[in-house]
Amino acid sequence: MRLKMILMTAAGWCLTAGAEARTLEVCPQTCAYSDIQTAVDAATDGDTIRLGAGVYKPAAYRDIPYGKLTIRGFVVLDNRRLTITGEGAVLDDADGVATSALVIRGGQVTLSGLTIRNFHAVDTKDDIYDGHGIFQIGGRTRLRNLTIEGVTKMALVVREDGMADATGLTIAHNGVGIWTDERARLRLRKSTVDGNTYSGLAVYAETRTELSEVAFNNHTDDAIFIDGQAQVRVTRSTFRDNKPLVFNLNDRAILSVSGSLFCHNEAVSKMGLDALGGANKECKE
From residue 278, give the alpha-carbon distance in Å to each of 55, 178, 217, 235, 241.
44, 24, 21, 9, 21
Q: What is the pLDDT of residue 77?
A: 98
pLDDT tens sequence across 235-263: 999 999 999 999 999 989 999 999 999 99
To 10 degrees, the CA torsion angle through 78, 81, 86, 90? 10
Distance CA 102, CA 132 (A): 8
Distance CA 176, CA 272 (A): 24
pLDDT at residue 14 is higher than 70? no
State the average pLDDT for the chain.
Answer: 92
Q: What is the pLDDT of residue 273?
A: 84
pLDDT tens sequence across 102-141: 999 999 999 999 999 999 999 888 899 999 999 999 999 9
Residue 9 confidence class, pLDDT cut points 50, 70, 90: very low
To 10 degrees, the CA torsion angle through 192, 198, 202, 205? -170
pLDDT at residue 5 is higher than 60? no
Q: What is the pLDDT of residue 93?
A: 96
Helices (H), the chain: 2-18, 36-42
Distance CA 275, CA 61 (A): 48
**Which residues does residue 239 pair with via DSSP β-bridges, in sequence order?**
216, 262
Q: 28-198: what fold?
A: Pectate Lyase C-like (2.160.20)
Distance CA 39, CA 43 (A): 6
DSSP state of 274: G
Q: What is the pLDDT of residue 125?
A: 86
Q: What is the pLDDT of residue 7?
A: 41
Q: What is the pLDDT of residue 19?
A: 64
Nearest by Cα to 142 from 119, 153, 158 = 158
pLDDT above 70 covers what percent of the chain? 93
Q: By mean pLDDT, which of 75-84, 140-149, 151-160, 273-282 is the weakest?
A: 273-282
Residue 279 confidence class, pLDDT cut points 50, 70, 90: confident
Cβ(75)–Cβ(105) under 8 Å?
no
Q: What are phi and psi of 236, to 5 degrees?
A: 50, 45
**pTM (whole model) above 0.75:** yes
Q: Where in the chain is the domain with CATH 2.160.20.10?
A: 28-198
